[in-house]
Amino acid sequence: MRLDRRLFLRKAMPEMVKTVQSKSRLDSGTVFPEALYMRAFRQFPGVVLALGAAAACGQGSAPVNGGSWSRAVGFIDSGGIATTPLAVPDTVKARSPFAVTVSTFGSTGCIRPDRSQVQVAGSVADITPYDSVWSNTPPCPPGWQGYPRAVELRFDSAGVARIQLHGRGFDRDLTLQRTITVRP
């Protein structure tokens, strides 16, 4: 990137490259285009700001410097948006796999859905979704959205089955439950 800046300065402002030279007796007189950045900013602030904005917009929306991603139990409180944290079918067939949709929620660009822990014991299925969560700086942009993912379940016995979703809420841990009918 440094070479590109030098070429930009030499092509866009050749007169500045020729005229800005050190007046110090101890200096060799070599012109370093890096020294022109502040002068270029003072004379052409719009161009410099536009180039900076274009470079920043070229980066991905996820933060990359000064922070880290960590795995955490997913936030299942929807915060009032229309997406349900646990979507299940009303009826399924015994011994046949079926999909449920589990959604976690969080700030735009700072959540990555991770795997879910699934345990089925008899007619009860427990699901705990995990997310990769951004921490530290830069801060996450404002916004709130759902991060759905499919989880495969299977009940072996006919009857009524219960699916429990375990996760975090705004002020406590939450467990959401749905019951379904399992046909023979």
> In whole angstroms, what is the distance from residue 103 CA to residue 111 CA?
12
Q: pLDDT at position 54, please?
A: 39
Please count the other Cβ atoms lying within 10 Å of the Cβ belonging to residue 113: 18
User: Along the 184 residues of the chain, how does pLDDT read in single tens digits?
Assistant: 444 444 444 444 444 444 444 444 444 444 434 333 344 444 555 444 444 433 333 334 444 566 788 999 999 999 889 999 999 999 999 999 999 999 999 988 888 999 999 999 999 999 999 999 888 777 788 788 999 999 999 999 999 999 999 999 999 999 999 999 999 9
SS (H, E, C) the chain: CHHHHHHHHHHHCHHHHHHCCCCCCCCCCCCCHHHHHHHHHHHCHHHHHHHHHHHHHCCCCCCCCCEEEEEEECECCCCCCCCCCEECCCEEECCCCEEEEEEEEECCCCEEEEEEEEEEECCEEEEEEEEEEEEECCCCCCCCEEEEEEEEECCCCCEEEEEEEEEECCCCEEEEEEEEEEEC
At the top level of CATH, which class does the domain 67-183 belong to? mainly beta
> In whole angstroms, what is the distance from residue 102 CA to residue 121 CA?
19
Enter the pTM of the model: 0.63
> In whole angstroms, what is the distance from residue 164 CA to residue 101 CA?
12
- What are the extents of the domains in the chain? 2-57, 67-183
- Going by C-alpha positions, the residue among 64, 68, 67, 84 that lies closest to residue 76 is 84
Q: pLDDT at position 64, please?
A: 52
> In whole angstroms, what is the distance from residue 147 CA to residue 129 CA?
11
Q: pLDDT at position 120, please?
A: 97
